[in-house]
């Protein structure tokens, strides 16, 4: 997702005082992790894979942080 797309979505959010959890990965940072350049196609594929993956682990991390049993 492009930053401008996220900003557009967030500007339409009804409660602008709501606190949310947001996570993002910058391509430059990921390239540093893997020690190579990433093409636009590779980056798009990584985004699609992440966004269509099972978020159960993230849900569990949030629940654990809140002291809830899973």
Burial class (CB in 10 A: 0-12, 13-18, 19+), 38: middle
Integer Cα distance of 20 and 1 in angstroms: 17
Residue 54's pLDDT is 93
Local confidence band at 9 (pLDDT 50, 70, 90 cut-offs): very high
Q: What is the pTM of this model?
A: 0.73
Domain ranges of the chain: 17-65
Q: Encode pLDDT of 20-50 as tens digits.
A: 999 999 999 999 999 999 999 999 999 999 9
Q: Evaluate whether 61 touches 23 at the Cβ level (below 8 Å).
A: no
Share of the chain above pLDDT 70, in %: 97
């Amino acid at each position: 997702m492009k930053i401008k797309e996220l900003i557009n979505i967030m500007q339409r959010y009804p409660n602008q005082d709501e606190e949310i959890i947001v996570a993002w990965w910058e391509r430059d940072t990921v390239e540093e992790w893997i020690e190579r350049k990433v093409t636009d196609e590779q980056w798009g594929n990584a985004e699609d894979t992440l966004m269509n993956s099972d978020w159960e682990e993230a849900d569990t991390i949030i629940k654990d942080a809140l002291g809830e049993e899973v």
